[in-house]
Structure 1
Amino acid sequence: MTAPVKGPASYFPSIEKKYGRPVAEWQELIRTSPLTRHMELVNWLKTEHGLGHGHANALVAHTLAGSGGA
């Protein structure tokens, strides 16, 4: 039996459903953004792409943790 997904990744199915893009695309946008700080990226996703705070925060946290970012 598979353990339930926890942490930021638990938001991924609803992010894909609500915004119509795979998580990999969002992560690529985050990685290629000239912004590097967590809250700068969260605010950018909210204002430029219309994500809610929780979804933007989850994507940024997971992406930066995986890439050793700020």
Structure 2
Amino acid sequence: MPEPVKGPASYFPSIEQKYGRPIAEWKDLIRASPLTKHMELVGWLKTEHGLGHGHANALVAHTLAEDRTK
């Protein structure tokens, strides 16, 4: 049995279902934004794209962490 997904990625299925965009598209939007700080990006996703705080936070956290490991 596969191990359950933990951390920010655990939100991904519900984000895709609720907002109708694949996670890769959200990550591309975050990376294309001129904003760089975590909470600035969270606020931007909430105001410009209508995401809830938890979903926006999960996307930003995962994307920024991914970019730090590149």
Q: Which runs of 5+ in 1 are unaligned?
A: none
- The reply to whether residue 12 of structure 1 matches residue 12 of structure 2 is yes
1:1-70 to 2 correspondence within 5 Å?
1-68=1-68
Aligned-residue Cα RMSD (Å) equals 1.1
Q: Which runs of 5+ in 2 are unaligned?
A: none
Give CA-to-partner distance per residue, 1:14-62, whole Å, 9 cap, x none: 0000000000000000011000000000000000000000000000000
Shift of the alpha carbon at 1:68?
1.1
Matched-pair identity in %: 81
Q: Distance in 2 between matches of 1:53 and 1:13?
A: 16
SS at match of 1:58: helix
- TM-score for both structures, normalised by structure 2: 0.96
